[in-house]
A and B are shown apart, each in its own frame.
Chain A
Amino acid sequence: MGMTMSQKILAAHAGQENAKAGEFVDCALDLVMANDITAPVAIRQFAECGGDRVFDPEKVIFVPDHFVPNKDIASAAQAQCMRNFVREQGLRYYYEVGRGGIEHALLPEKGHIAPGDAIIGGDSHTCTYGALNAFSAGVGSTDIAAAMIVGKTWFRVPTAIRVELRGHKRGMVSGKDVILHLIGLIGTNGATYRSLEVGGEGLADMSMDDRFTFANMGVEAGAKNCIFEFDSVTEAYLTEHGVTRYRPTAPDPDAVYERVVRLELDRIGYTVAKPSLPSNTAPAETLRSVRIDQAVIGSCTNGRLSDLRAAAEVLRGRRAADSVRLIVIPATQRIYAEAVREGLVDVFLAAGAVVSTPTCGCCLGGHMGVLAEGEVCVSTTNRNFVGRMGHVSSQVYLASPAVAAASAVAGHIETPEGL
């Protein structure tokens, strides 16, 4: 029986010829990642378990990105805890504040992700790396602690949902609209315990940044992982980021899928997820009556260069409405520098925006843009749960960078063409 991409990668890392859905496998890991929220808990478990040295100081990577630059003494202590561990263990890759950025934009950019890899991260959006044809899943801190010791972890081999892309996206429709559309179709638990396996002729119309955004939100449909087929777009990205050794993994022609979802890209419009679930989607055009107090453009979902370019295209020569705070957060230092070089930051500043250093802060209501009682935010982030970005009565609408930028200008939810 044929295997999916995920099944092949898991089999290879378990030292087996085959991996069948439902089977439990112990997989060697190419990368174990954690951040300033999840690492401290993992470090404590590591020590309590009598952990001495990590299995490979080149394969454990920590990234401080959630509450940095530290918002208070307690969060500073957490970042300090992980920094100390990095030094004690001699971890080769650690990206300090000012030299890194948001983990899921940073690790691919630094060339840490390769097709065929098996990766776990102490962050649910670790599924992002599947965009580069890797098997990558989010786990909790105890799994990270165990993996730091033994260099492997267990998986139940997932059944799969094939996502078949066709056609071409229209206008400024982006990967964000495509994944929100899919989550609206299958629901927030539509892919729970399953892998999302993305391919089809429409893949050519998805840039790497579109794919990162799509894979990033796979977990919002409950997926274990989300993996894209390897093609020339993947290859060009890897070359540009210095990745030379990798194992492209294609699905077998007779791979078994529990379900095939066909997405006609031409038919997908600007899609917004209303409060308080990412599956609560509606066309942006139908939400013009929703007035907003804040617009956020950034995060591990949409803080990449093409996201900032799309936002700048909409904002050029325009200003955010007086009633709207516009916050732009480049996802990495490199993206930030490029946005400065290309003049995008000038556009944002002229539009009356705050341009922040890379941080996850406001996405999870931590800092740098927390919402007050009753406030409404259009955000390019990934979750719109109750209280996600601040007060329990505040509301979050998830959208693409182009829609968030247009909404900031209009003062209500708006499309780029509607301005």
Chain B
Amino acid sequence: MGKAYKFGDHINTDLIIPARYLNVSDPQALAAHCMEDADATFAGRFKPGDVLVGGEDFGCGSSREHAPIAIRACGASCVIAASYARIFFRNSINIGLPIFACREAAEAIADGDEVEVDLQSGLIRDLTSGRAFQAEPFSPYVDKIIRSGGLMNLIRREKHE
């Protein structure tokens, strides 16, 4: 269970982690600047287990994997958005950051709501409003990567087979 931090549409990778901080790739160093240009107080307030909620086209822009790395290093239990840009989606799946597409939840959840997400089933509960939502299922191929614990684990496993 965690608190929802809600943002709007087109949350791009420059907002998630500004390029001026890409001279390092240490996850904790990146986490300190996560969402900085959208909300300078975010990194100081966001607690492990909290949930990042966005609108349409979340993660658009750069291919920088530093964006999902920063979100994960902040301790986010997951990201919920109406839709995702494809490279951000792919990067999140690859590094094992739980990420759910659910337009209804993304619209209904209010900033500060207490949210509980079943990472296995994609069932999202807004405990503040009492509403529940079901995230879109993953394709079997993407599901295989998730269940392997990320792409590199899948590659490692296939290498040993």
Q: Which residues of A contact B (CB under 8 A)?
A: 24, 37-38, 40-41, 44-45, 48-50, 66-67, 71-72, 74-75, 78, 121-124, 126, 138-143, 145-146, 149-150, 154, 156, 188-189, 192-193, 219, 222, 224, 277, 364-366, 370, 383, 385-388, 392
Contacts and interface: CB of A to CB of B under 8 A. Distances in A.
Contact of A365 (B20, B61, B83, B155): B20
Nearest to A74: B23
B141 A124 contact: no
Given A41-B66, A192-B85, A150 B61 contact: no
A50 to B, nearest CB: 7
Contact of B23 (A50, A71, A387): A71
Contacts of B126: none
Q: Give the interface centre of B20, B139, B140, B150 by most chain A CB atoms within 10 Å.
A: B20
A149 B86 CA distance: 23
Interface of B: 10, 12, 14-15, 18-20, 22-25, 37-38, 56-57, 60-66, 68-69, 83, 85-87, 90-91, 94-95, 139-141, 150-152, 155-156, 159
A192 B23 contact: no
B14 A385 contact: yes
Contacts of B60: 188-189, 222
A124 B62 contact: yes
A222 B20 contact: no
Given A40-B25, A67-B23, A140-B87, A388 B14 contact: yes
B85 A143 contact: no
B120 to A, nearest CB: 22
A353 B69 CA distance: 39
Given A124-B87, A150-B155, A188-B10, A142 B150 contact: yes
A139 B61 CA distance: 11
Contacts of A37: 19, 22, 64, 66
Contact of A364 (B14, B83, B91, B141): B14
Contact of B94 (A40, A78, A140, A188): A140
Contacts of B66: 37, 41
26 contacts: A24-B139, A24-B141, A37-B19, A37-B66, A38-B63, A40-B25, A44-B25, A66-B22, A71-B23, A75-B23, A124-B61, A124-B87, A139-B90, A139-B91, A140-B68, A149-B155, A189-B10, A192-B85, A364-B14, A365-B18, A366-B20, A383-B12, A385-B12, A385-B15, A387-B14, A387-B18
Contacts of A49: 152, 155-156
A122 B63 contact: yes
Contacts, number: 133
A358 B62 CA distance: 20
Contacts of A366: 19-20, 22-23
A146 B152 contact: yes
B151 A146 contact: yes
Nearest to A193: B86
Nearest to A393: B37
A377 to B, nearest CB: 15
Nearest to B89: A193
A224 B63 CA distance: 12
A48 B152 contact: yes
6 closest A-B pairs (Cβ-Cβ)? A140-B91, A364-B19, A140-B65, A142-B94, A74-B23, A75-B23
A50 B153 CA distance: 11
Contacts of A75: 23
Contacts of A383: 12, 14, 61
Given A24-B141, A189-B60, A140 B90 contact: yes
Contacts of B152: 45, 48-49, 142, 145-146
B86 A224 contact: yes
Contacts of A50: 156, 159
B25 A140 contact: no
A121 to B, nearest CB: 8
Given A41-B25, A74-B24, A392-B37, A192 B156 contact: no
A35 B143 CA distance: 29
Given A365-B20, A385-B15, A189 B94 contact: no
B63 A386 contact: no
Contacts of A66: 22
